[in-house]
Homo-oligomer: A and B are copies of this chain.
Amino acid sequence: MHDEEPRIRADAARNRRAILDATAGLLAEFGYEHVTMDRVASAAGVGKGTIFHRFGSRAGLLHALALDDANALRHGVSSGPPPLGPGAPAEKRLFAFFDALAANVVANVELVAAVSDSTPESDAEPLHKFWHEHTRILLTEVRPDTDTDLLATLLLNTLSGSPVLRLIRDGHGTRYIDSVRTLITSMIRAGATSTHPSAAS
């Protein structure tokens, strides 16, 4: 028995990956409402019982997928290539980070809507803390003239909420991403001019 454990763990990890990938594919192709456990099982080549065993419910599966996407972005920030990862100037990292977050919201809008309704606040908390801390640290370099802690919360707040989800669902995803870019670029530019009092309003 003992010798089989590594193989069983490898199978389980492969199944998990296959189920999450199948779910992501079905979400992109058919939309949130049409992702049934039967379809996921069939697309992933596993039994429905395996999915329930591992994820508990359809909500649990979608939640796991959302956390998986978020963790991929977190990994990109911590140890991926610049400008998202370390090694680029703070302005470029801030821009790349919000660009990636906005693109993530647009790509997963149905998932984000479903998860933000059903996820207990505490589950998302470690990730939100990470986003906030990363933003705050970058702002400390880009906008040392501001209350970076509060400003990080305000900027991250443009990535959630029903008005944002509504306009993405209405087909304005590209315009949304562009406007997040405008917002971040403006914060950066205004920092560059903030040493010239004549530019202040």
Contact = CB atoms under 8 A, between A and B. Distances in A.
Contacts of A183: 151, 154-155, 187
Chain multiplicity (copies): 2
The residue among A95, A143, A158, A194 with the most chain B CB atoms within 10 A of its own CB is: A158
Contacts of A156: 163
A182 B155 CA distance: 11
B200 A172 contact: no
Given A190-B190, A199-B193, A201-B185, A161 B157 contact: yes
B92 A182 contact: no
A91 B201 contact: yes
A71 interface: no
Nearest to A178: B147
Contacts of A192: 193, 199
A41 B201 CA distance: 47
Contact of A189 (B95, B146, B189): B189
A186 interface: yes
A113 B91 CA distance: 35
Given A157-B157, A158-B157, A151 B182 contact: yes
Nearest to A194: B189
Taking residues whose C-beta sits less than 8 angstroms from the other chain, chain A's interface range is 35 or more
Contacts of A182: 143, 146-147, 151
Contacts of A186: 143, 186-187, 189-191
Contact of A193 (B146, B160, B172, B189): B189
B163 A157 contact: yes
B147 A179 contact: yes
